[in-house]
Every structure is written in structure tokens, then in C-alpha cells.
Amino acid sequence: MAFEYIKALHIIFVITWFAGLFYIVRLFIYQTEALEKPEAERIILAPQLNIMSNRLWMIITWPSAILTLIFGFWVLYYRWGYMQLGFMHAKLGFVFILYIYHFICHKIYKDLQNGITKWTSTQLRIWNEVATILLFAIVFLIVLKSLVSVAWGIAGLVVLSVVMMIGIKWYKRVREKS
């Protein structure tokens, strides 16, 4: 019975972590664009977006990432036999990449809190889709529990990535026209 509660908590914190990751990069985009605005707008927008980013990052996203890790290891402890299966190695590899993504987002967060922009809003829009691709990979691996499906999954991720890139470029054109 305890396992089900631990697994449920792991899933809940994965969801809140991804919610934070999805929204923080959206805030990064707004912060970057706010820093490019005339001073009158920048003075109003930048502090408010900094507060929003700080609260999201420090109160929701970071704690969720840590609790995801704790409960994830706890779930793995109960299902240690999965470590003998290739799909779990692949899943953990994608989770490792997701934590790298998280740390890169932390660097971007710190820069933007100090008014430093190193990424364009277009680059951040593309960066925002990396979490989506990782989410797809991790969920399909854990649900299907099959490395054979990984080949199809990778092909699907490539197609998804291409479609997302086309969508980003299309959206950029639409924004530039208006």
C-alpha cells in the first residue's frame, strides 16, 4: 500500500515540475522581450516579471524537481528489478538530460534576474520545446516499457521536433506581420 502513495506523490511532483518548467521558459521569453522595450515599459514590466519568475522557480519548480528525485528513487527502490531492463536505463538517461535542462534554465533564470539577456526570444521559444520532447520520451518509455518502442519513439520525436520547429517559424512570421 505504501508503494502506491509513493508512486502517486512521484507522479504529482513530476507534473508540478513540468508545469514549472513549461511556464518558467514562457516567463523568460516575456522577460527578454520586456528588456527590449522602451524604458517606460521596461521599468514596469521587468520587476513584475522578475517577481513572477522568482516565485515560480523557487517555490514551485525547484522543490518539485527535488521531490521528484526523492520519490523517484523511492519508487525505483520498490521496483529495483526494473534496473535490469533496458527501457529503465533509457528512461533514466532522459531524466538525467531533463535535470541538465533544469540547471540550464536556472542559469537563464539567474541571468534574467540580473537583467542579462543571452538568449533571444526565438531561441527561448525553441528551448521551451525541449522539455516537451523530453516529456514525450520519458512517458512513452515508462508506459510502454520497451526498447523496441524506443526506435519508433525516437522517430516520432524527430517528427514532433520538425513539426514544432515549423510551428515556431510560422508563429514568428505571424507575430512579425502584426
Binding site: what residues are annotated? 10, 91
Residue with grid cell 514596469, as numbered in its chain: 44
Ranges of beta strands (E only) in the chain are none
- Give the three cell numbers for residue 103: 540547471
Q: Report the C-alpha gap between 116 and 109 in whole angstroms.
A: 10
Binding site as annotated, residues for heme: 10, 91
Task: Give every CB contact of residue 41 below 8 A, 6+ residues apart in sequence.
Answer: 34
Q: Report the C-alpha gap between 61 and 106 in whole angstroms.
A: 10
CB 114 within 8 A of CB 107: no
CA 162 from chain center: how many Å? 18
CB 133 within 8 A of CB 163: no
CA dihedral over 102, 103, 104, 109, signed as positive or negative: positive
